[in-house]
A and B are shown apart, each in its own frame.
Chain A
Amino acid sequence: MSYLSIEQVRKSFGKTTVLEDVSLGVERGEMVAIFGPSGTGKTVLLRLISGVFGPDAGDVLIGGHSVIARGPEERDVGMAFQNFALYPHLPAFENIASPLRARGLAGAEIERRVRATAELLKIDHVLHHLPRELSNGQKQRTALGRALVREPKVLLLDDPLRNVDAKLRYEMRVELPRLLKRFESTVLYVTQDYKEAMALGERVAVLNQGRFQQVDRPAAIYTRPGRVEIARLFGDPTINLYPCRPAAEADGLAIELFGSRLVLPRAAGETAGRPCLIGLRPEDVQIQLEPAPGAIPVELDAVTPLNVRTVLFLRAADRSEILATCSESVGARFGRGHRQVFMRLDLAKALLFDQASGQHLPAAA
């Protein structure tokens, strides 16, 4: 039995249905990252759990008990809002102390716990400041402190790193899991950044088009995305996708692509003859200057250095565009592009999706 479970929750605002049928179970002490493009209702889902909104249908259970009938103040859920939502007329100390005051703890106990939390978050020197006197990073930590200080059984974090600068974001990505382990809370972490979801979540739940399309370990979502939309959302640069119609062959599954005939090393199964989309991750596309058997000649249009990797823009004989990545040192060999190069594809890692439904078509067993 999951500690926090969301069961077939539906929520509409007027005529727009935001959440259609959402179910998820989270174990005690587990951290699940909820990932989805903007506007998919991630924030709405957290608000349904915290009790700010009520669902149109479905149930939310914490520790096996339905909390739907309870107000937000009776659920013992900690929540950090994306826009911080600090109390502007109260100093940081009172902001953090608020959940403890609500429980009617003694002044000395409140003082001790607020100080301890603030030290952990490195904001103990600004506790007497009003929110408007805090930097964005300090505001974000104050909001986080307010959620953590009560040591809640369920902690909801609504994209807490969205509004802080890049340096702090990286720091917090490292620090946050360490912090959260101390509280042994069940954590839902909402984010729009797939890297953050993969870095922080023990599992990642992909919310799209009103439901969870896939809930799995981060690596599994990347290597075996359940749907073509998920494959598109995870990965930077995005996955290369081309329509194709595979045909069964003796040595595997043959497709017509880039003006060449390619054979995927997998059993035909029921994919043969179906209109499909083939997905090739940019890192599974190798580029070399010399021709080789099996390598496809392509035109290199542009070379874009991107941090430690280099992104290559390629154009095949049939004019389809391909993105590839390589290390910076390899990328240096290609100069600025505009030349003929040769492409080798790691077809064992290619992904096939049904063109009509977008479903992933796993290799037949």
Chain B
Amino acid sequence: MTEATLWSRLLRPVLLTLVALFFLFPIFWVFLMSFQTNEQILRIPPSLFFSPTLDNYWGLVSGKLVTAAGTLELPFMRNLWNSVVLSTGAVLLSLLLGVPAAYAFARFKFRLGEDIAFTLLSFRFAPPLLVLLPLNLYFQTLGLNDTYIGLIWVYQLITLPLILWIVRGYFEDISPDVEHAYRVDGHGWLKTFLKISIPLARPGIAAAALLSFIFAWNNFVFALILGSSSIQPVTVGALAFVTASGIQYGQIAAAVVLSILPTLTLALYAQRYLVEGLSLGAVKG
């Protein structure tokens, strides 16, 4: 008894703090770095005290990368916008295709159903580079190279299996009786899907959408090979910070902070759907 109290009173907060420090400290350090010049960052020993500068952010927003060797054009804001378009587009398309498919896999037993579901999941197993070389050739023939549509299509390899499999589990957890009751009440199947099944699976859909958005946002290799600078996301765009005259740590840090912001905002927004314990009390357990 006393041991348990000691454990929960003292040890647990200490350990939790350690874990939090371990994961959050790098982010905190990057956040500090984004307000420093390259010289301040590279001095030894490093110091928590410095006069903050907004130059890094200003450089990113204006698109001018000032280095020792001169000024470089840097389309960072363009990259950020591309990331938003690609990730949002990929997730929306996956939701549109994946949620009805997940419902079908959860509710109906059909021939080869399990095999199809597994094949979709197996897209996640293949090394992306293996797919990319033939895909590159196809895309050039089809004219999809260097287009938003082409990249969003390829991003489905990341987002669709994720959404399909997570949401399927949530649909399976909804008692079919709740849907049956709505049908018996006199509503058609489509209305039942939209008014009962989707709202009840919403926490799962929100979680899956958020997760696949993060995966899409962090993707690097698809965009590197299939897109040119006009549609490249931040992950590829960040390569530009490695310049002939050195690595621009301050601006990399500022870029990291800026590129975390959209995902962070989305996560905070989606949180209220994630914690919703909606299916409680539907049926007698």
Which residues does A use to contact B, with CB under 8 Å?
47, 50-52, 71-79, 81-89, 98-99, 102-103, 130-134, 136, 139, 146, 150, 163
Contacts and interface: CB of A to CB of B under 8 A. Distances in A.
A78 B187 CA distance: 13
Contacts of B283: 81, 83-86
B129 interface: no
Contacts of B187: 73, 98, 102
A47 B181 CA distance: 10
A89 B200 contact: yes
Interface in B184-198: 184-189, 196
B199 interface: yes
Nearest to B178: A85
Interface in B255-285: 278-284
Contacts of B284: 82-84, 136, 139, 163
A89 B199 contact: yes
Given A130-B281, A131-B282, A136-B284, A87 B178 contact: yes
Contact of B282 (A73, A74, A75, A86): A86
B171 to A, nearest CB: 15
Interface in B171-222: 175, 177-178, 180-189, 196, 199-200
B180 A47 contact: yes
A79 B181 contact: yes
Given A75-B184, A85-B282, A103-B186, 19 more contacts: A50-B180, A71-B183, A72-B183, A73-B183, A73-B186, A73-B188, A74-B186, A81-B177, A84-B282, A84-B284, A85-B178, A87-B282, A88-B200, A88-B278, A88-B279, A88-B281, A88-B282, A132-B281, A163-B284
B127 to A, nearest CB: 40
Nearest to B195: A87
A72 B184 CA distance: 5
A150 B186 CA distance: 10
Nearest to A162: B284
B285 to A, nearest CB: 8
B188 A52 contact: no
B184 A51 contact: yes
Nearest to A80: B181
Of the candidates B181, B182, B184, the one having the most CB atoms from chain A within 10 angstroms of its own CB is: B184
Which 6 pairs, one residue from A and one from B, show the smallest C-beta to C-beta distance? A132-B281, A102-B186, A85-B177, A88-B282, A83-B283, A72-B183
18 contacts: A50-B184, A52-B180, A52-B183, A73-B184, A73-B186, A81-B180, A81-B181, A83-B283, A85-B177, A86-B283, A87-B178, A87-B181, A88-B282, A98-B187, A99-B186, A102-B186, A130-B281, A146-B181
